[in-house]
Amino acid sequence: MGRIVGAFATSHVLMSPDGIEAQAERVFAGMKEIGRRLRAARPDVIVLITSDHLNNFKLDLQVPFIVATASMFTPFGDMGVPKTPFRGYREFAEALIEHAAAHGLDLARAEEARPDHGVAIPVAIVNPNGAIPVVPLYINVAMEPVPAPRRVWALGQALRDTVERHRPAAERVVVLATGGLSHWICMARQGDVNEAFDREVLDRLVRGEGDRLAALTAADILDRAGNGGLEILNWIAMAGAVAGARGETIYYEPIPSWLTGMGGVAMDLGGAA
């Protein structure tokens, strides 16, 4: 059986530091720290749970869950991210699709994807030389209905089951969720940050209470964290993959000029390493 040897979550944007230099630097330092810990776990593959920003999967057809199966990805290049190719891991991606189906989760397969900032910024920080293959796992948060939190929790559990029951012995897997925290995109509350809710999310995760987040409804998250905050679903999926694990908040900064709360956590998997 394989093992999940690391689980992390982080916001996935970096914007202008003008006027907020110290905050921006703390966020950047937090992301780099997550990268340091991720690499220290010596993973064979990173399963990166994220959401596309209507750059690959358009409003014409939004699918709840998509696994990108290619062996190589070239970033979309939005937000100025370099289009430096990085490796995928077809065999792992196909195994996840196959075994998630046994959990009642039908994952769509995307042979072609140009990962946007939701993948490419975290990859550029945690996996800067592209040494570790990445399997992007997309959760729809663009078009209603988005998946229920309990369903993305189950997705995380299906991921864990795939790793532990169907992957080769000694395979080391890191789960990295990206996105969030609270932000409203072109909604009345744009520019608000719900720091109280963001901290509740972080606290629940590091106390090993991700299941409490899974008990929320998507409408709860939309109301309290905004349409962009629905990316917290990605974090709940990560928590489902390491259910019961506690963790540590690596960074949190409310940054209204970036229109978002920025946060990151590292889960403590005990003897996983």
Of residues 145-184, those binding another protein (CB under 8 A): none
Nearer to another protein, 66 or 124 (CB): 124
Cα dihedral 108/113/117/118 (nearest 10) = 10
Contact yes or no for 209/41 (Cβ under 8 A): no
Q: Which secondary-structure segment (H or E) carries 122?
A: helix 117-126
Chosen residue from 22, 61, 169, 186 binding another protein by CB under 8 A: 186
32 binds another protein (CB under 8 A): yes
Residues 6+ apart with CB under 8 A from 186: none
Rounded to whole angstroms, the Cα distance separating 83 from 75 reads: 5
Closest CB 190 distance from another protein, rounded Å: 7
Chosen residue from 50, 140, 162, 227 binding another protein by CB under 8 A: 227
Of residues 254-273, those binding another protein (CB under 8 A): 257-259
Radius of gyration of the chain (CA): 17
Of residues 35-64, those binding another protein (CB under 8 A): 35, 53-54, 58-60
Closest CB 231 distance from another protein, rounded Å: 12
Closest CB 48 distance from another protein, rounded Å: 17
Choose the binding region for another protein from 104-112, 124-132, 164-172, 207-215 (rule: CB under 8 A). 124-132
208 binds another protein (CB under 8 A): no
Nearer to another protein, 218 or 241 (CB): 218
DSSP per-residue string spanning 171-199: -EEEEEEE--SS--SSSTTTT---HHHHH
What mask of x and - would describe binding to another protein in positions 78 to 117, judged by CB under 8 A? Answer: -xxxx-----------------------------------
Nearer to another protein, 51 or 69 (CB): 51
185 binds another protein (CB under 8 A): yes
CA atoms within 13 A on the CB side of 113: 33
Rounded to whole angstroms, the Cα distance separating 57 from 74 reads: 16
Of residues 4-23, those binding another protein (CB under 8 A): 14-18
Q: Considering CB under 8 A, how many residues would be counted as binding another protein?
A: 32
Task: Give, as one character, the DSSP assignment of residue 270.
Answer: G
Closest CA relative to residue 230, chosen from 148, 157, 159: 148
**Which bin fits 42, alpha (ψ -120 to 50), beta or left (φ > 0)?**
left
Q: Which residues of this chain interact with another protein, rule CB under 8 A?
A: 14-18, 28, 32, 35, 53-54, 58-60, 79-82, 121, 124-125, 128, 142-143, 185-187, 190-191, 227, 257-259
